[in-house]
Amino acid sequence: MKYVSLVRHLVCTAALFAIAGAGMTAQRGIGVARTPLGDGPWVFDTAEQHKVRAVIVTKGLANPWSLAFLPTGEQLVTERSGKLRIIRNGVLDPQPIAGVPPSKMQRLGGLMDVVLHPRFSDNRLVYLTYSKPGEKDLIATALGRGTWNGSALTNFQELFVVEPWWDGQGGAASRIAFGGDGMLYMTTGASVANMKDAQDPSHHKGKVLRLRDDGTVPPDNPFVGRPGHKPEIYSLGHRNQLGLAIHPQTGAVWSNENGPNGGDEINVILPGRNYGWPDVSLGRSYEGPWQGRFAKEGIEAPLVYWMPSIAVSGMAFYTGDRFPAWRGNVFVGALRFGEIAQTGHLQRVVFNERGEEMRREMLLTELRQRIRDVREGPDGLLYLLTDENPGALLRLEPTP
Amino acid sequence: MKYVSLVRHLVCTAALFAIAGAGMTAQRGIGVARTPLGDGPWVFDTAEQHKVRAVIVTKGLANPWSLAFLPTGEQLVTERSGKLRIIRNGVLDPQPIAGVPPSKMQRLGGLMDVVLHPRFSDNRLVYLTYSKPGEKDLIATALGRGTWNGSALTNFQELFVVEPWWDGQGGAASRIAFGGDGMLYMTTGASVANMKDAQDPSHHKGKVLRLRDDGTVPPDNPFVGRPGHKPEIYSLGHRNQLGLAIHPQTGAVWSNENGPNGGDEINVILPGRNYGWPDVSLGRSYEGPWQGRFAKEGIEAPLVYWMPSIAVSGMAFYTGDRFPAWRGNVFVGALRFGEIAQTGHLQRVVFNERGEEMRREMLLTELRQRIRDVREGPDGLLYLLTDENPGALLRLEPTP
């Protein structure tokens, strides 16, 4: 008799809390599957690119969240517990990088995104987002930057702190990306206790913010000077945004966010627009009723959505030449695979010339790893972080 | 190096046409994965029922479509090519059953559903739906019944023929089920060339019909006596319905249908209601644009939907006692697994006490088989048909 073991071991309820985007309930954690990653490499047949190989760069990470490629070839990786790590020539330095601000791994928060300034070669600025610890177990999402001196961050400055502080339950994620206009786009999530904050322009939460590289407000932001509106707001009505990428041709800002029980989305972010959370959603609430209406006048519809949720995470456009059949596709990390077996995969989304979705492909399902982030390397290969502990950096490459 | 082969062999374009519900384009067939079924049995760990075993009853079927359990223990199975087969004591009779009407396997049509009369023990009536061959390569969906004499159907009568005849491209599927009211519910699909037929009450296509057991119109049907309305119509606005099941407690009629590029649905069918196809849909068209609006006043929202499509097929409520954790759940066959790797699985949907969806589980994904139908046997076990050639009847049972 063959034994196909899907559930290698059940994870405890505490770990389940970190599974999806936000606001997981105990109910969601029924019989969750987790599979330890082997040593690889693995070769996968895929639909359009045919054979691709997944190679482990390192397995020594703890819940890695994001990575950035230094022009000198090293990779910077954030760990949600608060450490910034560096991989040199494929070897993970056992010492974390000094000069990183204090952060707190609370609920789904912690140390999150790491992004280089577009003129990094000149100014050596590294940007981080993180949950800043406060009083009475409150946290706030913060943005800061430090200067890379070749081995550490120096002169780290906090640039912006999201109002209000909260207990961290809900949309703790904060991605950042520099747009084609040189501005810094920063996502903030809605809390579970105050979901309506996402619709409230006097709060920063549940928004995409647009900032100058020093954290100040660009004067051409859509709500500048409007009473009752935070001037940093670029768009509103978001839940927990775990992926942010700039379209390589149009410069448009694409963000993805987790729905509750269904309704994960990719949105094209336009100035001053409302994306509907929590009133308009294509998902159900965790308790069963529909979250709200599927659509509403004045609310932007998603470009791509998922039902059931796959707990979308890091997102990247593929622009390289190592996977010719994948050029122009969007890759999205998934923290889930089906609604109950809580392990993830990588998803590929194909668009037509009008930017409309044509089809999707699930990749690396057999590995059953939660994929937290996906990035294209300067070598044209794809790099993936698994949200596990131990967690891995994987490289996807064509077979010879 | 490990080699994880997802694509064991590519199927030819001709075979791809039969993959999903309706109207497949060549584009959809990119690099399709098909895996021959091994000999089993297989044991799977699942989220709530834990270990279950899948056993092959027979692998000698060709694109089986539906099955019915005779009170004497045998199983009747339709093959889409037009044969009705019988399995006695787990052995497939090599001889097809005599007395079955001529049918034509054209596009997605052929011999389809097989259902026993609710008073079969008295009247021994077996109902079939099938694509009736006509002139100039036209077909029509037909309903008929014959009398089971223990080894063959006798006195087969055509009871009802769906208007109009067409080329078979699109919603060819026709499921039937006897409701709690003793009436026979019959699904019909919309053609690709004339999708709007689903909204046209003067056509039978793209509807759920309600008939007496002799194929005539019950006088309390919602559109009886209304000019321009076919009196058989019970609900309208459907695409291609591949699953139909009666709720074991409420007697409600549940139907599922395939969306185009996303937007598969389960609907609770109510008299005189409109389910929106092709104007209201949660999917995109194959060419990329949204099919229509997500929602509209006066159009019934689905109870469950999928994005991307899994190509939903046969559907059953589980009511038995062999899988206690699954009681009250709905099982749906899936002809796909992701948008590109075109192999299927079994999906389980869990509802709360208000009938709202709580979560889903993908089962048997490793087998990578297109699951055409799922039924609960009189023994409380689940039986699955794989839409393959050779195709199998599988039995799902708890491990000892």
Q: Under DSSP, is residue B195 helix (H, G, I), strand (E, B) or coil?
A: helix
Confidence check: pLDDT of B318 > 90: yes
Which residue type sits at A311? Answer: A
Task: Please check whether residue B42 lies inside any domain of the structure.
Answer: yes
Strands A42-44 and B2-4, bridge-based pairing = parallel
Burial (CB < 10 A; 0-12, 13-18, 19+), residue A121, is exposed
Give the span between the Cα atoms of B332 and B305, in whole angstroms: 12
Confidence check: pLDDT of A24 > 70: no
Residues in A closer than 8 angstroms to B2, CB to CB, are 38, 40-43
* Residue A80: how many other CB atoms lie within 10 Å: 26
Residue A33 and residue B45: Cβ atoms within 8 Å?
A: yes
Confidence of residue B340 (pLDDT cuts 50, 70, 90): low
Give the span between the Cα atoms of B358 and A261, in whole angstroms: 8
Of B42, B48, B289, the CB nearest to A31: B48
Which residues have CB under 8 Å from B367's CB, separation 6+?
Answer: B35, B37, B42, B54, B345
Confidence of residue A10 (pLDDT cuts 50, 70, 90): very low
Nearest chain A alpha carbon to B292:
A295
* Residue pLDDT, tens place only, B81-101: 999 999 999 999 999 999 999
Task: Please check whether residue B337 lies inside any domain of the structure.
Answer: yes
Task: Please check whether residue A358 lies inside any domain of the structure.
Answer: yes
Å between B358 CA and nearest CA of chain A: 5
pLDDT of residue A36: 85
pLDDT of residue B193: 86
* Residue pLDDT, tens place only, B102-130: 999 999 999 999 999 999 999 999 999 99
Which residues have CB under 8 Å from A190's CB, separation 6+?
Answer: A22, A170, A171, A197, A198, A205, A206, A238, A239, A240, A277, A278
What's the domain range around B317? 31-61+310-400
pLDDT of residue B192: 86
Residues in B closer than 8 angstroms to A48, CB to CB, are 30-31, 340
Residue B361 and residue A354: Cβ atoms within 8 Å?
A: no
DSSP state of B103: -
pLDDT of residue B339: 65
Give the ipTM of the model, two decimals please.
0.90
Å between B165 CA and nearest CA of chain A: 31
Residue A6 and residue B46: Cβ atoms within 8 Å?
A: yes
Nearest chain B alpha carbon to A10:
B47
**HSE-up of A357 (CA within 13 Å, CB side)?**
26
> What is the separation of C-alpha A398 from the centre of its chain, rounded to a whole number of angstroms?
25
Q: What count of CB pairs under 8 Å joins A to B?
A: 161
Residues in A closer than 8 angstroms to B31, CB to CB, are 46-48, 50
Task: Please check whether residue B100 lies inside any domain of the structure.
Answer: no
Q: Under DSSP, is residue A240 helix (H, G, I), strand (E, B) or coil?
A: strand
Residues in A closer than 8 angstroms to B354, CB to CB, are 288-289
Average pLDDT, chain B: 90
Give the span between the Cα atoms of A169 and A21, in whole angstroms: 10
pLDDT of residue A50: 76
Give the mean model confidence (pLDDT) for residues B294-321: 97
Give the span between the Cα atoms of B249 and B229, in whole angstroms: 31
* Residue pLDDT, tens place only, A101-129: 999 999 999 999 999 999 999 999 999 99
Residues in B closer than 8 angstroms to A42, CB to CB, are 1-4
> How many domains is chain B built from?
1
pLDDT of residue A340: 67
Confidence check: pLDDT of A64 > 80: yes
pLDDT of residue A163: 87
Buried b (16+ CB within 10 A) or exposed e, A219-236: eebbbeeeeebbbbbbbb
Q: Name which of A16, A279, A357, A359 to mutate to probe chain B: the one with the most chain B Cβ atoms within 10 A of its Cβ.
A: A359
- Higher-pLDDT residue of A58 and A342 is A58
| Residue B143: closest CA among B119, B167, B177 | B177
Of A293, A339, A357, the CB nearest to B361: A339
Of B4, B47, B295, the CB nearest to A293: B295
Residues in B closer than 8 angstroms to A359, CB to CB, are 27-28, 30, 261, 308, 339-340
Burial (CB < 10 A; 0-12, 13-18, 19+), residue A123, is middle
Query: Could you give the strand order of the β-sheet that contains A84-88, starting from the edge strand earlier in sequence?
Result: A64-69, A75-79, A84-88, A91-92
Residues in B closer than 8 angstroms to A366, CB to CB, are 4, 6
Element (H, E) at B113: strand B111-116
* Residue pLDDT, tens place only, A150-192: 999 999 999 999 988 999 998 889 999 999 999 999 999 998 8
Confidence of residue A374 (pLDDT cuts 50, 70, 90): very high
Å between A16 CA and nearest CA of chain B: 14
Å between B223 CA and nearest CA of chain A: 30
Task: Please check whether residue B119 lies inside any domain of the structure.
Answer: no
Signed CA dihedral, A210, A211, A212, A213: sign only: negative
Nearest chain B alpha carbon to A304:
B307
- As a whole-number percent, the residues of chain B with pLDDT over 90 amount to 82
Query: Could you give the strand order of the β-sheet that contains B357-363, starting from the edge strand earlier in sequence?
Result: B312-317, B330-334, B345-351, B357-363
Average pLDDT, chain A: 90
Residue pair A35/A367 in contact (Cβ under 8 Å)? The answer is yes
Task: Please check whether residue A25 lies inside any domain of the structure.
Answer: no
Task: Please check whether residue A357 lies inside any domain of the structure.
Answer: yes
Residue pair B130/B162 in contact (Cβ under 8 Å)? The answer is no
Of B30, B295, B306, the CB nearest to A294: B295
* Residue pLDDT, tens place only, B21-44: 323 332 344 444 567 899 999 998
What are the phi and psi torsion angles at B301 (to 5°)? Answer: -80, 150
pLDDT of residue A15: 28
Residues in A closer than 8 angstroms to B331, CB to CB, are none
Give the span between the Cα atoms of A46 and B7, in whole angstroms: 7
Nearest chain B alpha carbon to A357:
B288
pLDDT of residue A17: 29
Burial (CB < 10 A; 0-12, 13-18, 19+), residue B167, is middle
What are the phi and psi torsion angles at A170 (to 5°)? Answer: 125, -140
Task: Please check whether residue A392 lies inside any domain of the structure.
Answer: yes
Signed CA dihedral, A149, A153, A155, A160: sign only: positive
* Residue B301: how many other CB atoms lie within 10 Å: 17
Residues in A closer than 8 angstroms to B334, CB to CB, are none
What are the phi and psi torsion angles at A325 (to 5°)? Answer: -70, -10
Å between A342 CA and nearest CA of chain B: 10
Residue pair B66/B114 in contact (Cβ under 8 Å)? The answer is yes
Confidence check: pLDDT of B11 > 60: no
C-alpha pair distances (Å), A72 with each of A124, A140, A212: 12, 33, 26
Give the span between the Cα atoms of B115 and A265, in whole angstroms: 41
Residues in A closer than 8 angstroms to B3, CB to CB, are 42-43
pLDDT of residue B336: 85
pLDDT of residue A341: 59
Confidence check: pLDDT of B246 > 80: yes
Confidence of residue A265 (pLDDT cuts 50, 70, 90): very high
- As a whole-number percent, the residues of chain A with pLDDT over 90 amount to 82
pLDDT of residue B231: 98
* Residue pLDDT, tens place only, A356-366: 999 999 999 88
Of A293, A294, A361, the CB nearest to B339: A361
